[in-house]
């Protein structure tokens, strides 16, 4: 649930070349200059040619997400609110976090009635929120879909996602590398909620990556993304598996309980990989005094990225590190592995479990 910044500086040479090209175009074009007083849609500013952080026209953004009932979701909302506060031209209308689909639908209806310019929406259930998101789009509101996809991609102008399958792949590749071709290694998996597509994607990516180095999951349990669920699931797993070489736990919030179960069982013959990228886990990785040796990032900055993208969309700007003149239709963030060697790079954007 790292985050890599959306904007990177171009190399000086590339920037210089781009500037020269613009100057030449401006001097040689036979097209008449656009009349700034004429009506019509605001021209989109090509990527790399504008200062996207410079104040522009006011943008009213509605934001809705599920209840902050665990660390990752709390960090999602906190980061979104903080990002909006950076811009004097952004007014954020924040709906109260809810796990009730009908309440969230009513929140979006209210945003539509308020005629906001954009909506950043992390739906409790993507399929259930598709219809009202489509209604917002049809009303001319820019919708940015975060984390849980709508049933119809046309319900959003832009979708920004983590990489659940990629999380599994990254965890599997790391474990393969650490076990060094030990074909009889016992690898366990503590998943999240099995009925969720995101859990299924994570497990598939994990199995696929392990398969490429001749390993497979020998023991698997599912929890519920809570501390209590993680402890109960891990206790059951440890009883069923007297010897393990590695464990991948899908979620660092439930990992607090997983670690408690491991400590209670007095087990340390294996190493553990976490998931999501909590500050607690990263600090344990840095201290290097527990079974935790790595975690796989699932960015808690997705909604903050959504706020920034919504502002660009409404103001007719593009992403400054791309040549493309429009904000992309879909953005999927990377799922890197954090170890003691690179943990300092990711700690600033980690969330607290």
170-198 pLDDT, tens digit per residue, is: 999 999 999 977 889 999 999 999 988 89
pLDDT for 51: 85
pLDDT for 196: 86
Report how far residue 199's alpha carbon sits from residue 121's, in angstroms, rounded to the nearest whole number.
Answer: 21
26 CB burial (10 A radius; 0-12, 13-18, 19+):
exposed
Confidence of residue 43 (pLDDT cuts 50, 70, 90): low
319-331 pLDDT, tens digit each: 988 888 899 999 9
Give yes or no for residue 29 having a pLDDT over 50. no
202 CB burial (10 A radius; 0-12, 13-18, 19+):
buried
Confidence of residue 155 (pLDDT cuts 50, 70, 90): very high
Confidence of residue 165 (pLDDT cuts 50, 70, 90): very high
DSSP H helical ranges for 140-297? 164-179, 197-211, 227-240, 252-265, 279-287
Give yes or no for residue 19 having a pLDDT over 50. no
Give yes or no for residue 4 having a pLDDT over 60. no
Report all structural domains of the chain as residue ranges with CATH numbers, in order of start. Answer: 43-161+301-322 (3.40.50.2300), 164-298+339-349 (3.40.50.2300)
DSSP H helical ranges for the chain? 12-28, 71-85, 101-113, 130-138, 164-179, 197-211, 227-240, 252-265, 279-287, 302-314, 343-346
80-109 pLDDT, tens digit each: 999 999 999 999 999 999 999 999 999 999
The pTM score is 0.81
Contact 153, 221 (CB under 8 A): no
pLDDT for 16: 38
pLDDT for 208: 98
pLDDT for 353: 78
């Amino acid at each position: 649930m790292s985050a890599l910044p959306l904007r990177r500086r171009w190399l000086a040479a590339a920037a210089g070349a781009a500037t020269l090209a613009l100057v030449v175009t401006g001097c040689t074009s036979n097209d008449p200059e656009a009349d700034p007083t004429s009506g019509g849609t605001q021209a989109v500013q090509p990527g790399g040619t504008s200062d996207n952080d410079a104040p522009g026209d006011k943008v009213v953004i509605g934001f809705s997400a599920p209840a902050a009932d665990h660390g990752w979701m709390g960090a999602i909302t906190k980061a979104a609110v903080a990002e909006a506060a950076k811009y004097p031209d952004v007014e954020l209308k924040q709906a109260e976090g809810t796990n009730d689909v009908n309440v969230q639908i009513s929140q979006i209806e209210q945003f539509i009635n308020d005629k906001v310019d954009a909506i950043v929406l992390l739906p409790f259930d993507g399929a259930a929120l598709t219809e009202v998101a489509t209604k917002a789009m049809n009303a001319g509101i820019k919708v940015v879909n975060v984390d849980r996809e709508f049933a119809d991609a046309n319900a959003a102008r832009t979708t920004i996602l983590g990489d659940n399958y990629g999380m599994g792949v990254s965890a599997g590749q790391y474990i393969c590398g650490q076990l060094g071709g030990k074909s009889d290694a016992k690898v366990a998996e503590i998943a999240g909620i099995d009925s969720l597509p995101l859990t299924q994607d994570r497990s598939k990516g994990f199995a696929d990556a392990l398969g490429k180095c001749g390993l497979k999951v020998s023991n698997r349990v599912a929890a519920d993304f809570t501390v209590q669920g993680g402890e109960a699931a891990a206790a059951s797993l440890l009883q069923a598996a007297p010897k393990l070489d590695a464990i991948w736990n899908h979620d660092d919030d439930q990992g607090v309980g997983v670690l408690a179960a491991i400590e209670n069982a007095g087990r340390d013959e294996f190493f553990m990989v976490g998931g999501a990228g909590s500050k607690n886990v990263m600090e344990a990785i840095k201290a290097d005094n527990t079974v935790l040796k790595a975690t796989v990032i699932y960015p808690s900055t997705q909604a903050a990225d959504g706020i920034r993208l919504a502002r660009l969309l409404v103001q007719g700007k593009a992403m400054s590190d791309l040549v493309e003149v429009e904000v992309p239709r879909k953005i999927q963030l990377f799922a890197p592995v954090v170890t003691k060697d690179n943990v300092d790079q990711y700690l600033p954007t980690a969330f607290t479990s």
